[in-house]
Amino acid sequence: MSVLHKQPVAIALSVALATAAGSAQANISDDEIRIGYLADMSGPYRDLAGPGGLEALNMAVEDHGGKINGAPIVVFSGDDRNSADVGANTVREWIDQRNVDMVAGLVASSVTIAATQLLNEHDKLGMVSGAAALGITNEHCTPNHIQWVYDTYAMSNGAAKAILEEGGDSWFMITADYAFGHSLENDVSDVVTEHGGEVVGSVRHPLNTNDFSSYVLQAQNSGAKIIGLANAGADTVNAIKTAGQFGLAQSDQSLAGLMVFLNDIKALGLENTQGMQLTTGWYWDMNDQARAWAERYQQRTGSMPTMVQAGVYSSTMHYLNAVEASGTDDTASVRAKMQETPVNDMFATDGYIRDDGRMVHDMYLAEVKSPAESKDEWDLYRILRNIPGDEAFQPLAESRCHLINP
């Protein structure tokens, strides 16, 4: 007791600090910021997002100090197995049992659409870094999710326009038979026909197809100059391998990878992919800031990050910064703070979030280097030009989002 009487100023200061800390944490639900990472952790999209995306999220949490205003940042993770039912059930459990504040990752479009509808119903936030279907910020838009890295409109515009300008005016599409593939095929078809070309045919394949022989044969028999791949991940890799086995490189037909990732090119090798043009939302070697972050990531994982994994880090950091700046994890408050704050980091310069949930940033037209040009195993792309964000993404005037055009 005598010690307490001798230090009234110290006691008062301690009480004041404790009260302030309690007040700050009072605006954080459960005194924790809870984030769920949902992605394909074991299937065809494992390498483009998967465990590497979880590592990128953990880097963001660590770089933010692991807590906000004294409230710890807690991370859960789940494998959606590319099933909308599995993904929705996982998100529902996180909401009901763990009171998750934000869900990150979100790679398969069908899973993402199901998950974001649940997040909207329960007023939680979703940060979409992998799913590409344009409908995610169109007919399926909500005020509770943001699409960060790319979409089928952005990915089709850059590559398809460049190929058309080179004379590739007849196309045959090999398409993944679900929401993402359908969306990408439709967007490419619109670009091709708008610029005077023709889509002479298409064929659809199930997700995670191993044998592309019949699909490539149909494409070859179509006589189209360009065979467009409206798929991603392991499906794209298997389709390109099959095309090589069928001698496509020695023919008058060319392959267009419309959703190609760094890990795909690495897996296929420069001998098989050199000269391929593609659109990307980010590349590890595009500037000093990207290189510095990517090298940190590589030290932890052994690989350079894909644009999706970089997007997970960027979107998570922007979310955490908004929680800190607004002093709460309330969804509406955090979303508003995120929207009013420009995105300037290792991923984007002067990026911004629109009312439809689209994060607008520059995209890039890249060309795969030849083996002779490459300096090391991850030196795979040459950036040909920037595609300004306002040109890369669908104009709001064309939006089908009810938040824009009620």
CB 401 within 8 A of CB 356: yes
- Exposure b/e, 174-211, CB count within 10 A at least 16 = b: bbbebbbbbbbbbbbbebbeeeebebeebbbbebebee
Position 22 scores a pLDDT of: 44
The yes-or-no verdict on residue 1 having pLDDT over 70 is no
What is the SS3 assignment for 352? Answer: strand
Please state, in angstroms and rounded to a whole number, the distance separating the CA atoms of residues 191 and 160. Answer: 7
Q: Residues 129, 134, 137, 141: is their CA dihedral positive or negative?
A: negative
Please state, in angstroms and rounded to a whole number, the distance separating the CA atoms of residues 104 and 78. Answer: 11
Position 26 scores a pLDDT of: 53
Q: Say what percent of the chain tops pLDDT 70.
A: 93
pLDDT digits (tens, 9 = 90+) for 197-253: 999 999 999 999 999 999 999 999 999 999 999 998 889 999 999 988 888 877 888
Torsion (CA) 114, 48, 302, 290 in degrees, nearest 10: -100
Please state, in angstroms and rounded to a whole number, the distance separating the CA atoms of residues 286 and 304. Answer: 13
Please state, in angstroms and rounded to a whole number, the distance separating the CA atoms of residues 236 and 98. Answer: 36
Question: Going by C-beta distance under 8 Å and a sequence separation of 6 or more, which residues neighbour residue 351?
Answer: 342, 343, 344, 359, 360, 361, 389
pLDDT digits (tens, 9 = 90+) for 124-142: 999 999 999 999 999 999 9
Mean pLDDT of 94-123: 97
Burial environment of residue 255 by CB neighbours within 10 A (0 to 12, 13 to 18, 19 or more): buried
Please state, in angstroms and rounded to a whole number, the distance separating the CA atoms of residues 66 and 81. Answer: 28
Domains belonging to the chain, first-starting first, are 31-150+286-361 (3.40.50.2300), 153-280+363-392 (3.40.50.2300)
Count of CB atoms within 10 A of residue 86's CB? 16
- Exposure b/e, 334-355, CB count within 10 A at least 16 = b: bbebbeeeebebbbbeebbbbe
Position 8 scores a pLDDT of: 40
The yes-or-no verdict on residue 14 having pLDDT over 90 is no
What is the pTM (predicted TM-score) of this model?
0.87
pLDDT digits (tens, 9 = 90+) for 285-316: 999 999 999 999 999 999 999 999 999 999 99
Which of the 8 DSSP states describes residue 29?
A: G
Q: Which residue has the higher pLDDT, 11 or 80?
A: 80
Position 12 scores a pLDDT of: 41
Supply φ then ψ for residue 7, to 5 degrees: -130, 55
User: Which of 5-14, 152-161, 184-193, 220-229 comes out lowest in average pLDDT?
Assistant: 5-14
Mean pLDDT of 27-56: 95
pLDDT digits (tens, 9 = 90+) for 364-391: 988 899 999 999 999 999 998 888 999 8
User: Which of 245-254, 263-272, 273-282, 354-363 comes out lowest in average pLDDT?
Assistant: 245-254
Q: Say what percent of the chain tops pLDDT 90.
A: 76
Position 20 scores a pLDDT of: 42
Q: Which residue has the higher pLDDT, 336 or 24?
A: 336
Question: Going by C-beta distance under 8 Å and a sequence separation of 6 or more, which residues neighbour residue 242?
Answer: 211, 212, 213, 215, 216
